[in-house]
Structure 1
Amino acid sequence: MHALRKKIAVALLLALGGPMAHAAATPAAKDIVIVHGALVDGSGWHAVHDILIKDGFHVTIVQEPLTSLADDVDATKRVLDQQNGPVVLVGHSYGGSVITEAGADPKVSALVYVSALQPDVGEASGQLLSKFAAPNDAMRATPDKYFYLPAEKFRATYAADLSPAQAAFLADSQQPLAQKAMAAPISVAAWHTKPSYAVLTTEDRIVSPELQRWMYQRSNAKVTEIAASHASFMSQPVTVARVIEAAAKQTN
C-alpha cells in the first residue's frame, strides 16, 4: 500500500509540474569551472579552489593560452567536455568574454562574472573597455602585439589590496594577452539564457566599476559589490567563493 501511494504521489507531481518536480529536473551544480583573466594564470585562484573543494564541489581551472578568443574558448570547452554537469562557469576579467561564448554549452547552468567583461553578441572585449575607460594608463604592448603591465606598476594597477610579495609574484608570473583576443567579437552571449551572478569590485583599475555596473545591470545579473581591486579572487577569496556557491545552489 505504501509503495502504491508513493507511485501515485510521484505521478501527480509529474502531471502537475509542481515545484518538487521542477527541482528534481534542475539539480544544484557540483562542478565548478574557473576561467582566469588576462595577465595572470590560474594559480591565483588557489584559495577560492580550496574553499570550494572543502564545501564539497568539484573544481577545475582552465589554463588559457591567451593567444586569441577562439583559442581560449576552445581551451574552456575542452574542460567543459570533461565535466558531468550541471556546471557553474566562472570568468574573471577578460575571462568573462570567454565564458560568455563558451557558456552556451548545455552543461552550463549558471555564469559568474568576477570583475569580468560581459559582452553581447557582436561586441569585442576592447570595445567594452573603451566604453568606460579604467583609471590607469599603465598597460603596454610588446612588438608582437601582446598586452602587459610593467612590473613596477603592477601592484598599483592590478592588485593594490594584496601584499607587495603577492603582487610581485603576479607581476613576475605575468601572462600577456594577445591584442587580437581583445578585438574579436562575441558570436553568442550565454547570459541571455543562463542566470548570471557578478562580483563588482569598486576599487578596480583594470575594468572600471562603472563599466561593471553597466554590464551587470544590462544582463540582470545578481550583483555582490565589494571594495576590492581587480585581484579580488586573491584578496577576498571567501566572498568570491560564496557567490560561486550561490550560483551553484540555484535551481531555476
Structure 2
Amino acid sequence: MSTACSTGPGIGLRSPTGCGGVRHRSPELPFTSLLDDARVVRDVVASRKALGRRVVLVGHGYGGTVISEGGADADALVFLAATVPAHGETTTAAAEVSGSPLRDQPMIRVGESTIALAGPRAAVVGAFYNLAPPDGVDFFWAGLRAVPLSLFDEPTGASPAWQTVPSTYIVCEADNALPVDCQRRWVTRRTTA
C-alpha cells in the first residue's frame, strides 16, 4: 500500500483546487484495520458535510472497500479499478468472486502477517504504476509500506454504501493489477447508478 496519493507528482491534483477547481482531499489511511480506515473516511465526510459541501468519494483498489464501508453519508461514490465488497464480504473474497485472486497478483509478497509490493522496482512499476510519470513513480515508491494481511480478510460490517449512495464504476483497461474482466463483474454485480 502507498501513502495518500492525490498530491503526488503527475496526478493532476497538486493543489486543493487542482482538478478543474473542484476541492479535494486525500486522507492518509492508517492501514491498521478496515474499521480504522473507514472511520477516517467517515470523519472526512462529516467534516466536509458540516461545511455544507457535497462529497464524492473516489476509491481505487482496496480504497473501494474503504468507501463501501465508510461512505454512507457521501453524496456519490466512484470506484476506480476498485474492489466492491458485498455486506459481510472481505476484500479478498470480493476479489476472488470477481475472478482476481488477490494473493496471486504479481509482485505481492505475503509474509506471515503482512502483505506488500515486493520485487525488482521495474517489475513492481510495470505491474502497479505502469502509466505514472517518473516523478510520480518516485513519489509512490517512497510511500510504499507493508500492511497487515488481516486488512484484506476483515469482513465489511455495515451495509455497503454503494447500496444506498449513487455510485459509478470506472473500468480501467490499462490497470495491470485488476484485470478488466474482474472490474466488469463488479460493475454488473454492485453499482446502484
Q: Does the alignment pair 1:150 with 2:121?
A: no
For residues 149 and 75 of structure 1, the distance between their equivalents in structure 2, rounded to whole angstroms, comes to 24
Aligned position for 1:180: 150
Fraction of identical pairs, as percent? 24
Aligned position for 2:81: 115
Residue among 100, 104, 107 paired with 1:133: 100
Aligned position for 1:81: 46
| Residue deviations 1:81-108 (CA, integer Å, cap 9, x gap) | 2113331111111011010011112xx1
Offset, 1:43: 3.1
Provide closer, same or farther for how the CA distance between residues 48 and 195 of structure 1 changes in structure 2, counting only shifts above 3 A. Answer: farther
Provide closer, same or farther for how the CA distance between residues 48 and 168 of structure 1 changes in structure 2, counting only shifts above 3 A. Answer: closer
Provide closer, same or farther for how the CA distance between residues 60 and 172 of structure 1 changes in structure 2, counting only shifts above 3 A. Answer: closer
- Residue aligned with 2:76, SS: strand
Offset, 1:63: 0.5
| Residue deviations 1:105-145 (CA, integer Å, cap 9, x gap) | 2xx111011111111101110112223126843210244x2
Work out whether residues 45 and 71 of structure 2, in 8 Å CA contact, stay in contact via their aligned partners in 1.
Answer: no
For residues 44 and 220 of structure 1, the distance between their equivalents in structure 2, rounded to whole angstroms, comes to 24
Work out whether residues 90 and 156 of structure 2, in 8 Å CA contact, stay in contact via their aligned partners in 1.
Answer: yes
Amino acid at match of 1:140: R
Offset, 1:184: 1.0
Residue among 74, 90, 100 paired with 1:124: 90
Provide closer, same or farther for how the CA distance between residues 168 and 51 of structure 1 changes in structure 2, counting only shifts above 3 A. Answer: closer
Aligned position for 1:5: none
For residues 195 and 204 of structure 1, the distance between their equivalents in structure 2, rounded to whole angstroms, comes to 24
- Residue aligned with 1:83, SS: helix
Amino acid at match of 2:182: L
Provide closer, same or farther for how the CA distance between residues 206 and 45 of structure 1 changes in structure 2, counting only shifts above 3 A. Answer: farther
Kindly name which structure, 1 or 2, has the bigger radius of gyration based on alpha carbons. Answer: 1
Residue among 99, 111, 117 paired with 2:67: 99
Aligned position for 1:67: 32
The CA RMSD measured in Å over matched residues stands at: 2.3
Work out whether residues 90 and 155 of structure 2, in 8 Å CA contact, stay in contact via their aligned partners in 1.
Answer: yes
**TM-score (ref. length: structure 2):** 0.82
**TM-score (ref. length: structure 1):** 0.64
For residues 21 and 94 of structure 2, the distance between their equivalents in structure 1, rounded to whole angstroms, comes to 36
Quick check: which one's helix share is greater?
1
Offset, 1:80: 1.7
Structure 2, gaps ≥5 residues long: none
